[in-house]
Structure 1
Amino acid sequence: MGLKEEFEEYAEKAKTLPEKTTNESKLILYGLYKQATVGPVNTSRPGMFNMKEKAKWDAWKAVEGKSTDEAMSDYITKVKQLLEEGTAST
């Protein structure tokens, strides 16, 4: 299985993360996913009254220097970690 296929598999698995997954972890995944699928940030930062979208934009901007493959690999690693944490604490 290639990296892209594995990435897509873990993108599906990410939809089944435990409810207790922190917003911080979700933002990390969001940033890595956007970097892997879109590339560097291509929009302006949302205004101060749109806190959720601004946090998502910031998470994406934080990983802006990563290559597509690096972002995919980091995303897979993070999803695996979160899934393991979810099953370990139940």
Structure 2
Amino acid sequence: MGLKEEFEEHAEKAKTLPDSTSNENKLILYALYKQATVGPVNTSRPGIFNLRDRAKWDAWKAAEGKTQEEAMNDYITKVKQLLEEACISA
């Protein structure tokens, strides 16, 4: 299985993460996903009163130095880690 296929498989698995997944981990996954699929941030930073979108933008900006392959690998690793933690705590 190629990296892109494995990435897409784990993107589907990420949808099954429990609701108790922390916002910090959700932001990490969001940032890695965007970096892997879109590349560097290509929009302006949302306004100060748009806290949710601003946090997502900041997380994505923090992942900016990663190549698409690095972001895919990190995303896969993070999803595996979170699924494993979910199984242990269940």
Say whether the fold is shared (TM-score over 0.5).
yes
Q: Which residue of 2 aligns with 1:27?
A: 27
Q: Which residue of 1 aligns with 2:86?
A: 86
1-structure distance, mates of 2:17, 2:61: 23
Aligned CA-pair RMSD: 0.3
**Secondary structure class of the residue paired with 1:10:** helix
2-structure distance, mates of 1:47, 1:63: 20
Q: TM-score, normalised by structure 2?
A: 0.99
Which ranges of structure 1 fall in alignment gaps of 5 or more residues? none
Between the two proteins, what is the percent identity of the paired residues?
78
Alignment of 1:1-90 (within 5 A): 1-90=1-90
Question: Aligned residue pairs: how many?
Answer: 90
Q: CA deviation at 1:18?
A: 1.1
Which structure 1 residue ranges, 4+ long, deviate > 6 Å from structure 2? none
